[in-house]
Amino acid sequence: MEGEHGAAAAGASQDRSVATDKPYRELIEAALHEYQLANWDEAIALFQRAHAMNPGARTLNGIGKAAYENRQYVLAITYLRQALQETRHPVTAKQRAELTDLIRRAEAFVVHFTLDLDPADATLQVDSMPATLTSEHELLMDPGEHELVASNPGRENVVRRVRAVVGQRERLTIALPVAAGAAPAKDQPGSSLAALPPSAAVPAAGRSFAGSTSTAERGSRSRTLTLVGVIAGGAGLVLGGVTGLWALSSTRTLKDECPGNVCQPASRSTLSTAKTTATLSTIGFGVAIAGAALAVVSLLVSPAHAAPSADDVSKQASESAASTRAAARLTFGGAGIALAF
């Protein structure tokens, strides 16, 4: 017991020394707040800023756990492994066991593709970020839809859409055709794709991250289309109504000025106005109908009416497959939040 209390006191002393750095402390508190609100992207960004200011295992721990909750399993594994190896502000023995278990669970959701890339030194990006490869030349991706872009000097870029499914292991072949009027580039020393062992970390701390299209993003686009439809419909209705009334007024004037439907030259201006406003009224009501149709269609195809995405299905599968639940705490000098996995 005395040894445990002594270790705890030493850790608390170390935390107090770190807490004297006010900007760092404020970033940590802000990151924890966003974590509690389940704002994973914001929590990751704040933990990364804190790590850049004062690197340590605890900030890596925070980034990794937030990435796991955000279903960025490849990124989570990277940071959690770094947290286990980091000697600055190291994690406790209990946290080490928790992180090891979390890495194991995250690995179950990572999708592996055996990659055949021609030429072998081509640059490959996944969702606008450098691809993550193992030493066995396996491409690692999170479940869901991804956009792959392969490029190389003297070759045409190749863009490929890939659906990664949990448990899937397939071979992925990407061959870049020679660009028209250009000769293939000479072999360059080294490769733009760093081959890493399965246990190695790929992105450095502070790296930005990319997420796949989520239900929230699709819902945002649907709401935008609905708003556009409502605005267009309203504008068209106003235009049609105003010009329609104007046309009716001009028509009544013509009835008075043109007995027997025979108009004098002085009435030509009124006749022209009546025709123009009638045309504008028709156009306005047409726009109103089109806007209303757009609003209705965008509501019908919104995420509330659409089938779940691959990411949503993968998340549901991971939640139903989890057979154990463990409680862990992420602490920074006494401030902590409960993390349930």
Where is the domain boundary, 152, 177, 212?
A: 212
Determine, yes or no, domain membership for 6: yes
Query: When comparing pLDDT for 112 and 239, which is higher?
Result: 112
Angle at 42 between CA 101 and CA 161, to 5 degrees: 75
What percentage of the chain reaches a pLDDT higher than 90? 38
The arithmetic mean of pLDDT across residues 92-112, rounded, is 93
Domain CATH code at residue 61: 1.25.40.10
pLDDT of residue 104 exceeding 80: yes
Residues 71 and 137 in one domain: no
Residues 84 and 115 in one domain: no
When mean pLDDT is compared over 51-55, 202-206, 240-244, the highest value belongs to 51-55
pLDDT by residue (tens digit) across 46-80? Answer: 999 999 999 999 999 999 999 999 999 999 999 99
The pLDDT score that the predictor gives to residue 264 is 64
Determine, yes or no, domain membership for 208: yes
Q: What is the mean pLDDT of the chain?
A: 74
Determine, yes or no, domain membership for 312: no
Angle at 64 between CA 134 and CA 219, to 5 degrees: 100
Determine, yes or no, domain membership for 313: no
pLDDT by residue (tens digit) across 224-233? Answer: 877 877 787 7
Q: How many domains does the chain have?
A: 3
Residues 160 and 226 in one domain: no
For the ranges 150-159, 228-237, 258-267, the lowest mean pLDDT is seen at 258-267
Residues 205 and 272 in one domain: no
pLDDT of residue 188 exceeding 60: no
Residues 18 and 60 in one domain: yes
Determine, yes or no, domain membership for 317: no
Domain that holds residue 17: 2-108+324-340
Residues 222 and 208 in one domain: no
Residues 170 and 234 in one domain: no
The pLDDT score that the predictor gives to residue 196 is 40
Determine, yes or no, domain membership for 190: yes
Determine, yes or no, domain membership for 40: yes
* Cβ atoms of residues 182 and 154 within 8 Å: yes
* Residue 292 pLDDT level (bands cut at 50, 70, 90): confident
The arithmetic mean of pLDDT across residues 37-53, rounded, is 94
Domain CATH code at residue 137: 2.60.40.1120
When mean pLDDT is compared over 35-44, 112-121, 197-206, the highest value belongs to 35-44
pLDDT of residue 273 exceeding 60: yes
Residues 89 and 130 in one domain: no
The pLDDT score that the predictor gives to residue 180 is 84
The arithmetic mean of pLDDT across residues 318-339, rounded, is 41
Residues 86 and 178 in one domain: no
Residues 283 and 271 in one domain: yes
pTM given for the model:
0.49
